[in-house]
Chain A
Amino acid sequence: MPPSVSLGRSNRLGAGAVDAFAVLTRRSDITLVVALIVLIAFFAFTAEYFFTLRNLTNVLGQASLAMIAGIGVAIVFISGEVDVSVGSLQAAVAIPLIVIMNHTESLTLGLAGALALGLAIGVVNGYLSAYVGINSLIVTLGMLFVLRGGVYLYTGKTAIPDDVGLDSFFALGNESLFGVVPYPAVVAFVLLLVFMYVMRHRPFGRMVYAVGGNAEVARLAGYPVRWVKFVCFVISSLLATISAILLASRLGSAVHLSGLGFEFQVVAAVVLGGVSLSGGIGSLFGMALGVLILSFLSNGLGMLDLATEWQLVITGIIIIVAVAFDELKRRRA
């Protein structure tokens, strides 16, 4: 919202209140917190080596990719749209990153290249969905195909290795802060805090909720509904790009296979986190819990030496049950 409109009157008044607590205490989030604790407790007792600092921090690192992309996807959901293109995007943006680094030996330029492509993708998604008005599921699904195919075409279905091997680039995804917390987790945590703040304490964040909650009312309130949605798509693509950069560092290359099915993981986590497909409802905090639950689940089940098959089945059931439960509660309220 342009500052020119903001009230002269109110600026004189007391400092802004920060009540993240209000966010934390949303009831659906509480149930998620409990679920997460129960889950961790369960594995701590059943799975050897699970409840070790090393493993727990590992999981945080592993969760952070879905977490970072999840922030963006959740924001798009809250604005009443969907974005399922993040999977292929992960593979696509890694290409300029690695290629440029290999040519220039500069991490900065590589990052810039990746973010530029990510931005472009977000702009296309946003323009087609918000301005042209094509159903965003179709737009981003199409984008999913186009990007994946494009990656295969460009790379000839081989991975592009990082020939420069900059330590800084390696560190991004593979090393830990003070040797304890993996950097990806740090990045995810910071981004999460930033966007929790934005969604709660910046007019833009509130606009996103309003637009998703009731686009007509938002319009009457003078909001640029389309612009808001557009920006959400751009944010989503940029965050997915950041997750892709971290992944590329973990893989030391741009792998044409990376991100296959990633969009499903993210959407699953977001929905599990209580973010409604119908828009206007849900919190990033809930999303984060959703991601953590699924990550600890897969890590724990792996530690129990449980086969992929079971992991798929269990995850599927959990998603359905969680959403059904959410619906039930919403109808009760």
Chain B
Amino acid sequence: MPADLAVAEAPALALEMTGISKRFPGVVALNDVHLRLEPGKVHALMGENGAGKSTLIKILAGVYEKDSGTIRIGGREIEILHPSDALKRGIKVVFQEIALIAEFTVAENIFLEEYPVGRGGSIRWRTIRKEARALFERIGFDVDTDARTGALPVSQQQMVEIARALAHEARIVVMDEPSSSLTPNEVGLLFKVIRRLTSLGIAVLYVSHKLDEVFEIADTVTVLRDGRHISTRPIAEHTNDTLIQDMIGRRIETLFPRERGPASDRIALSVKNLSTAAKLKDISFEARAGEVVGFFGLMGAGRTELAKAIVGFDPISGGEISIGGKRLHPHDTRTAVSLGIGLLSEDRKGEGLMLELPVVTNLSLAALEEFARLGLIDESRERAAAQSFVDRFRIRTPSLEQPIKNLSGGNQQKVLLARWLMRGLSVIVVDEPTRGIDVGAKSEIFALIDRLASEGHAVVMMTSEMPELLGLSDRILVMAGGRITESFTREQATQEKVLNAAIG
């Protein structure tokens, strides 16, 4: 929008960001993006994963520094170089990944940013306890404020995170996918919180890719795609289709190419009455060669726990797992891999990448024995194989020696997927395969998963992304509270049915 106009309106605006750009090694995260928030209004920020939503708010929060562009609050231009700058300016961000100190009590976490202190400068613990309790009563959320935060289930931690927004005198509250791990009635509480905020004249930036929520709570919607600003319109002017159109930029089915034929009836993976001490209860299912089995569930439903159990990463307390008819010793990844099952973890940095090490080393890790004679690695063969995967998967890297930390999320994910293909597995478990990667790469990953299946692998996919689930899966199993609550065929499944089952 024209700058002079912006300036003229400035006083009315809570926040104005113009011409914001940000690059990371190998990817342009934001390109000349602008955003305007009005006091007392809810402004939705939408876009697929990797569209640039998170980057934008992290700039706002002072986590990243923008490469260019200006930020105005109440018309005055400001610089945000450190989170404390944002907080001083009354910008409160509720992040998707929990930003709480696990060792502290819930009450203390609420006041983490500004401990109430007495005249002597001592922390007023009683005040903290009292106000925290009062706060949760106000929004009608029942949680033990003296509990160790780390001991709470994820969804409750998320609510604590959200409640913090009320505890501070904020002028702008940003919420990044706040509902991702919430049960519907918790979402209800969330909206209650948001309305309370707006009634106090606070501007709310609501980041989400869930249409229904946006239509319910937002006044205005800004859509980003591939780091670019696509549209900003009052919600009234939008329909489901127009929004999706803006977000994805093409019709949904084209995002999910489906070349593969029907699944064979050879059972590649069978899980019987699997339970773990922590979470899972009596899980049984099978996956056939050439089939994509999609697991859906809200955060904390036990998807990741299941994924880690069936690849032998976590110990199990009961039940059995067999791959290609062979029984797997629980809690032993080595036999699991040699039997032909592997996991593409949701936590790329934590459980997938060796950030400092080169692409080739990351790529060949699981298949290394195949290039070795008497333990000696034939490096030319290793590199040749790696190169062929880099080409086939169109992995964008300047060289095989490139430390993988310098690749974009999408390319990193492709390397990790290639790691398993190189090993030649029969069953591959993918957990949130497209988390935090941009749309282009996303469809490539989808294509790869489809190819895996068509090449006769059994794919077990854990996801919280409805389109991805519906688009890719042959069968859909829904989890809640560590159990499988429903099972649908591709044809039966609809967004509503699946959600209801997930709420359990």
Q: Which residues of A contact B (CB under 8 A)?
A: 1, 3, 5-7, 9-11, 13-19, 197, 201-203, 206, 209-210, 213-214, 216-224, 280-281
Contacts and interface: CB of A to CB of B under 8 A. Distances in A.
A88 B88 CA distance: 43
Interface residues of B, number: 38
Interface in B79-100: 82-84, 86-88, 93, 95, 99-100
A222 B125 contact: no
Nearest to B123: A201
B233 interface: no
23 contacts: A1-B115, A5-B114, A10-B127, A11-B116, A13-B127, A13-B130, A14-B127, A15-B118, A16-B117, A16-B124, A16-B125, A17-B126, A17-B127, A202-B123, A206-B104, A206-B108, A209-B101, A214-B101, A217-B112, A220-B99, A221-B83, A222-B88, A224-B84
B99 A13 contact: no
B63 interface: yes
Nearest to A216: B99
B122 A202 contact: yes
B106 to A, nearest CB: 14
B379 interface: no
Contacts of A202: 121-123
Nearest to B58: A220
Q: Which of B63, B95, B121 neighbours the largest number of chain A CB atoms within 10 Å of its CB? A: B121
Nearest to B120: A16
Contact of B123 (A11, A14, A16): A16
Nearest to B105: A22
Contact of B101 (A15, A16, A217, A219): A217
A14 B95 CA distance: 31
B102 interface: yes
A217 B122 contact: no
Contacts of B124: 10, 13-17
A220 B63 contact: yes
Given A10-B124, A202-B122, A206-B123, A220 B103 contact: no
A213 B101 contact: yes
Given A15-B126, A17-B125, A5 B88 contact: yes
B101 A203 contact: no
A13 B82 contact: no
A6 B113 contact: no
Contacts of A17: 124-127, 129
B127 A222 contact: no
A218 B83 CA distance: 10
B60 interface: no
A131 to B, nearest CB: 15
